[in-house]
């Protein structure tokens, strides 16, 4: 008798191997010089197996990033109801940093790849419409606002996205001597304070 749990774990492992191979090859060769066949070979599976999981190489490269966003949405919805949208998001970020620093670093890697690949950037824009909506809806539920009529959930989502990008860019410069976790904590502090101009 087949074990459904084992089958799902094997599928998840294959998918992870494909995304890891896709990102590694994209970093080594550049996105435009990577093929689905090369990704499949690097992951030790057939091209047919690759296409059972992804339509193209761009999906494989971006998959883990958007899986990460989906995990964030699920974590926001699991936070205690008494927490505000900002509080819930901050707790989720703290937990992600404490347990998944590699995920944050991987996210930074994918963002760098997008900077250098118009094709990847276009595909990411399409995924952003699909997955980004779920973030807005989760924060709207948390704040008691309407995702289509109220500005707040969209402004908060955009602010959090901008904070993450700014944190990664400053961290990438490696001129602060501070960890990504410390920088992200400061970003949340500044947002919570209304982004006041620092004292000179």
Q: Does 91 or 49 have the greater pLDDT score?
A: 49
Q: Are residues 88 and 33 in the same domain?
A: no
Identify the domain boundary among 54, 72, 87. Answer: 54
Contact 152, 145 (CB under 8 A): yes
On whether both 25 and 37 belong to a single domain, the answer is yes
Q: Judge whether residue 47 has pLDDT over 90.
A: yes
Domain count, the chain: 2
**pLDDT of res. 36:** 94
Cβ-contact 18, 43 below 8 angstroms: yes
One domain for residues 119 and 27: no
Query: Based on the domain organization, do 16 and 107 belong to the same domain?
Result: no
In tens, the pLDDT along 169-189 reads 787 766 777 777 788 888 888
CA atoms lying within 13 Å on the CB side of residue 197: 1
pLDDT digits (tens, 9 = 90+) for 116-131: 677 677 766 766 677 7
The whole model's pTM is what?
A: 0.67
Q: Are residues 133 and 178 in the same domain?
A: yes
* Closest C-alpha to 145, from 93, 85, 91: 85
Residue 52: the pLDDT is 95
Tell me the pLDDT band of 108, cut-offs 50, 70 and 90. low
pLDDT at 163: 83
Q: How many distinct helices (H) and strands (E) make up the chain? A: 9, 0
Are residues 85 and 183 located together in one domain of the fold? Answer: yes
The pLDDT, as a whole number, for residue 199 is 66
Structural domain boundaries enclosing 157: 58-192
Name the token pair of 40. Answer: 């499949």
pLDDT confidence band for 79 (50 / 70 / 90): very high
Closest CA to 26 of 49, 63, 60: 60
The answer to whether residue 200 sits within a structural domain is no
pLDDT at 158 over 60: yes
- The whole-number pLDDT of residue 62 equals 82
Residue 200's pLDDT is 63
Do 76 and 136 lie in one domain? The reply is yes
Mean pLDDT score across all residues of the chain:
82
Query: Are 162 and 181 in the same domain?
Result: yes
CATH number at residue 73: 1.10.357.10
Q: Using one digit for the tens of pLDDT, what is the confidence trace for 2-13? A: 566 888 889 989
What pLDDT was estimated at residue 160? 83
| Residues above pLDDT 70, as percent of the chain | 78
């Amino acid at each position: 008798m087949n074990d459904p749990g084992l089958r799902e774990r094997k599928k998840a492992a294959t998918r992870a191997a494909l995304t890891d191979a896709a990102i590694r090859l994209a970093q080594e060769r550049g996105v435009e010089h990577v093929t689905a066949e090369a990704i499949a070979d690097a992951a030790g599976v057939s091209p047919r197996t690759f296409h059972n999981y992804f339509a193209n190489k761009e999906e494989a490269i971006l998959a883990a990033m958007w899986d990460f966003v989906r995990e964030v949405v699920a974590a926001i919805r699991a936070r205690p109801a008494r927490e505000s949208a900002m509080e819930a998001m901050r707790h989720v970020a703290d937990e992600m940093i404490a347990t998944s620093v590699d995920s944050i670093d991987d996210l930074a890697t994918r963002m760098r790849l997008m900077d250098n690949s118009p094709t990847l950037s276009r595909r990411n824009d399409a995924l952003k419409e699909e997955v980004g909506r779920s973030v807005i809806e989760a924060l709207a539920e948390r704040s008691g606002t309407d995702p289509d009529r109220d500005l707040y959930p969209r402004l908060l989502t955009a602010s959090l996205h901008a904070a993450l990008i700014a944190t990664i860019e400053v961290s990438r410069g490696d001129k602060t001597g501070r960890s990504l976790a410390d920088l992200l904590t400061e970003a949340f502090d500044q947002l919570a304070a209304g982004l006041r101009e620092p004292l000179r």
